[in-house]
Amino acid sequence: MEALNKLSISKETFSSILLFLSLWFFDSDKSVELKFIVLFFGAILLFFSRFRIHKETVNVIFPLICIFIVSLFSSIFTLPELYNFLKDTVHLTKPIFAIVFGIYIASQIKDNNTIIKVILLFCLFSALSHIFTVFYYLEEDWNTSTIRSIGGKGSDLEALGFSIYWVFVRKDNLKIFSSKFKIIFFWSLVISIGLYLSRTTFIAIIIFLITFYGLTQVNRKQVMYLLGVIILVISFMISLQFINIDRQASGIESFFYKIKIAPSEIFDAEIDVTDHTQLWDNWRAYEAKKAFETMEGQSSLIPYVAGMGLGSLVDLGFKAPLGHERMQFIPHVHNGYIYVFFKSGTIGLLLLLLWLYYLYTFIYRKSQSFEQVINHKIISGLGLYLSFSTLVITGIYNLGVTLSLLLGLSLGMLINLKEEINIR
């Protein structure tokens, strides 16, 4: 009997292990459908294990539920194929279940320092795995596309983990790691993030850092600091336009080429589709343009008000070589604002903008402890980063679920603190 007691683990320890495994699973390249099934049943089981609905939970998921309902309603007018309808149902409800999953798994652990510790431990695991994968499989060709195809195209999780470490853990504001561990953690993430050669990941770090340092609060001092950062970034982007960078360049030069074309990639849709160089360099803008044209082809105001609905497809106008097949009709576009507008119209777009603004405003909330300050800044930082990433990689509606899960965990930690204060 004593042996069994020694082998038994506490609920918090079990939940911490479950969180680590969840981060590994949802950060992996498993199929969207498999992740959705796990999220769906996991969120339901965790919810009923606590069976408590919090105000913060409702406030965060309600706009996303409304976007789904609007899309569901507007699909009545387009009568999509069942397969496409179910596929969009998964994609539009996935972040809702991921947020709920994160909130209630955090409530199982209760100790917020443990939650942050697990997140950072997984970031270290992810970074070391990434470094090993790149150096093991990469041969002599240190080309950006080769490195990214081997190791991955970026990591929102590592960007957030690095920023949390730099602002809150490095100087022992949160005393959760030893000095030796912090050195290993820092250099592992620096190398790993560098090897991603990802514009989005670097911008994520900048957004998280300026938020965690409180520079995104609107007052005169913070606005001046923020303007300084923006001017530096714009100056760098402008300087790149005057440098002749070969599109076929390798190494860091090819990464600078990707930064150089970033503005036109999003906004310049006037291209020759027979010119593959133009097409792929401006693909995001082109598919957004075709989404508008598909809506115009309906000769009705309904698509603009309530969208094309679940299962609707964007007509690209030609069969594009996407992945392992050629496709003329696609269910998603990279620009998340256009994606939501296409599926749920002006109503859905306004709901999304209000939702993102609501997340940002967490930085203005009054805090009763340093732990609350951390959580308010993390949620606000995620809101600002989602505002940016929605423009380039669909944001909360990205095929991955990591950001939604992290948002849920952050909200769960905030709820834990409120319950702790109420008990006192």
Give me the count of residues in the chain.
Answer: 424
Residue 8 pLDDT > 80: no
Segment 337-342 mean pLDDT: 93
Integer-rounded Cα Rg, in Å, for the chain is 22
**Which positions ≥6 away from 377 have C-beta within 8 Å?**
211, 212, 214, 362, 363
DSSP class of residue 175 equals -
Say if residue 419 is exposed, middle or buried (CB neighbours under 10 Å; 0-12, 13-18, 19+).
middle
Sequence-distant (6+) residues with CB within 8 A of 188 are 124, 127, 128, 131
Task: Tell me the per-residue pLDDT of 152-183, one tens digit each, with 9 for 90 and over.
Answer: 888 999 999 999 999 999 887 778 888 999 99
| Structure confidence at residue 1 (pLDDT) | 44
User: Of residues 53 and 290, which shows the higher confidence score?
Assistant: 290
H helix or E strand, kind and range, residue 310: none
Q: What is the pLDDT of residue 150?
A: 86
Indicate the range of 55-69, 171-185, 216-230, 298-312 predicted with least confidence. 216-230
Phi-psi region of 239 (alpha: psi -120 to 50; beta: other; left: phi over 0): alpha
